[in-house]
Amino acid sequence: MSDVIDNKAHHRFELEMEGHLATEHYKLDGNVITFEHTDVPKELGGKGVGSKLMHGALDQVRAAGLKLIPQCPFVKAWIDKHPDYQDLVAR
């Protein structure tokens, strides 16, 4: 299994699996990170790749002491289902 990488140059978290790249695009402003768009290639659909991407990205957000704005509907829905990450959401 691959690990989630923070590609700071491209402002996105990346997870490579089976030769495809799943990404979470973000915008960083001070200590607030906005997750703008999640992209999971159709070849990886239904394999839990989006969830693995979220776990890895949000663990890095937490480790960096950032607060999150879940602008992307997928991210918002995922956090709603995972209450252990709701403390990261900027209020």
pLDDT in tens, 9-50: 999 999 999 999 999 999 999 999 999 999 999 999 999 999
Strand partners, 1: none
> What's the CA gap between 69 and 64, in Å, rounded?
15
Residues 6 or more apart whose CB falls under 8 angstroms from that of 84 comprise none
Residue 63 buriedness (CB in 10 A; 0-12 / 13-18 / 19+):
exposed
Q: Break the chain into its structural domains and give their ranges.
A: 5-88
Q: Among 6, 74, 78, 3, which residue's Cα sits nearest to residue 37?
A: 74
For the entire predicted model, the pTM comes to 0.94
As its CATH architecture, domain 5-88 has 3-Layer(aba) Sandwich (3.40)
Inter-residue contact 74 to 66 (CB < 8 Å): no
pLDDT band at 2 (very low <50, low <70, confident <90, very high): low
pLDDT tens sequence across 39-57: 999 999 999 999 999 999 9
